[in-house]
C-alpha cells in the first residue's frame, strides 16, 4: 500500500487535487472570513482555544511529513536529510512553540473554529505528503552537488530571512498584551510597532509567504509550490481583512502609509 502511495501516479493525482483546492480556497475567501482569531464566529461549530486550535491544525504537517519521508528510497541521503531538518524546525515552531506562547486572555471564550481545524488537517496532511514524497523519493536532482546549486543557495537564504523575520513579527504581536493583562482576562488590542510593522499591517503573513517561496526555490519542487499557493490563497485575502480591521478599530491613530502585505507595494 505504501509503495502505491508514493508512486508518481498517486503523487500527481494528489498534486492536481491540491491545486483544485487552492482555487476553491480563493473563491471561498471572497465570501467568508476564516473564523479564527479576531474574526471568530459561533456559526462554524465548536470554538477551541487558540493554543489548542493552532496545535491541532498544524500537527498533521509534522506527522504526515515524517511518515511519508521515511518511506522514500533516499530518506538517509544528505540533501533529503537537510530538508527534513528544515521542515521539523519550521513546524516545530509553528505547531508546538508558537501555540504554547500565545497570550490568550485568561477565561476568554474559544476563538478557533473546529471547522478551521478540520479543513486545516486536509491541507497540512497533503502538503506534508507532497513534500516528503518528493524530497525523499521522487526527486532526481538531490545529489551532493545540490548544496552548491544557485537555486538551493538563493532559496535557502530567502527561506532563512523569512523564517527569522516571521518569528520576530510573531513576538511583536504576542507582546502587545502583557502577562498581567492575560492573567486578569483583559482582551486588549493595540497598534503593533517595530520591525516590519513599520511598513505593513501583516508582516507575519508576508514573512510566511517569503519562507515558502524560498523553500520552493531551494527544493525546486511542485509540492513546495503547492504549499506556497495554498498559503497565499489563505493569507492574502485575510491580510486585506486584517488591514481593514485595524483601520476601523483605530480610525485616527493607525499609520496611513502602512501597506497591507508587501512593503512599499501592496
Q: What is the 3-state secondary structure (H, E, C) of 154-176?
A: HHHHHHHHHHHHHHHHHHHHHCC
pTM of the model: 0.90
| Residue 203 grid coordinates | 508582516
Q: Report, as ranges of residue numbers, the positions in the chain whose pLDDT lies below 70.
A: 1, 30, 32-46, 105-111, 182, 184-186
| Residue 8 grid coordinates | 508518481
Task: Please tell me the predicted confidence (pLDDT) of residue 24.
Answer: 87
Nearest CA to 232 out of 253, 206, 257, 199 is that of 206
Task: Please tell me the predicted confidence (pLDDT) of residue 17.
Answer: 92
Task: Please tell me the predicted confidence (pLDDT) of residue 109.
Answer: 63
Task: Please tell me the predicted confidence (pLDDT) of residue 120.
Answer: 83
Measure the CA–CA gap between 51 and 226, rounded to whole angstroms: 26
**Burial profile 160-174: b = 16 or more Cβ within 10 angstroms, e = fewer:** eebbebbebbbebee
Positive/negative CA dihedral, 14, 19, 23, 28: positive
Task: Please tell me the predicted confidence (pLDDT) of residue 182.
Answer: 67
* pLDDT tens digits, 121-140: 888 999 999 999 999 999 99
* pLDDT tens digits, 31-57: 766 666 666 555 555 677 778 888 888
Grid look-up 509553528 returns 94
Amino acid at each position: 500500500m505504501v509503495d502505491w502511495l508514493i508512486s508518481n501516479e498517486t503523487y500527481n493525482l494528489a498534486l492536481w487535487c491540491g491545486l483544485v483546492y487552492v482555487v476553491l480556497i480563493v473563491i471561498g475567501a471572497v465570501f467568508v472570513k476564516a473564523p479564527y482569531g479576531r474574526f471568530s464566529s459561533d456559526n462554524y461549530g465548536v470554538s477551541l482555544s487558540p493554543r489548542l486550535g493552532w496545535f491541532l491544525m498544524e500537527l498533521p504537517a509534522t506527522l504526515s511529513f515524517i511518515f511519508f519521508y521515511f518511506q522514500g528510497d533516499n530518506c538517509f541521503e544528505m540533501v533529503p536529510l537537510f530538508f527534513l531538518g528544515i521542515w521539523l524546525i519550521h513546524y516545530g515552531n509553528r505547531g508546538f512553540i508558537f501555540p504554547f506562547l500565545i497570550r490568550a486572555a485568561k477565561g476568554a471564550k474559544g476563538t478557533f473554529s473546529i471547522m478551521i481545524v478540520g479543513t486545516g488537517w486536509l491541507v497540512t496532511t497533503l502538503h506534508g505528503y507532497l513534500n516528503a514524497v518528493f524530497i525523499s523519493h521522487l526527486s532526481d536532482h538531490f545529489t551532493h552537488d545540490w548544496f552548491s546549486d544557485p537555486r538551493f543557495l538563493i532559496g535557502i537564504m530567502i527561506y532563512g530571512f523569512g523564517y527569522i523575520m516571521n518569528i520576530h513579527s510573531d513576538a511583536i504581536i504576542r507582546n502587545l498584551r502583557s502577562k498581567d493583562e492575560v492573567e486578569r482576562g483583559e482582551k486588549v488590542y493595540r497598534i503593533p510597532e517595530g520591525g516590519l510593522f513599520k511598513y505593513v499591517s501583516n508582516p507575519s503573513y508576508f514573512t510566511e509567504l517569503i519562507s515558502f517561496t524560498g523553500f520552493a526555490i531551494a527544493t525546486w519542487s511542485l509540492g513546495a509550490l503547492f504549499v506556497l499557493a495554498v498559503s497565499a490563497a489563505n493569507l492574502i485575502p485575510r491580510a486585506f481583512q486584517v488591514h481593514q480591521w485595524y483601520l476601523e478599530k483605530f480610525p485616527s491613530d493607525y499609520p496611513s502609509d502602512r501597506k497591507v502585505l508587501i512593503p512599499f507595494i501592496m
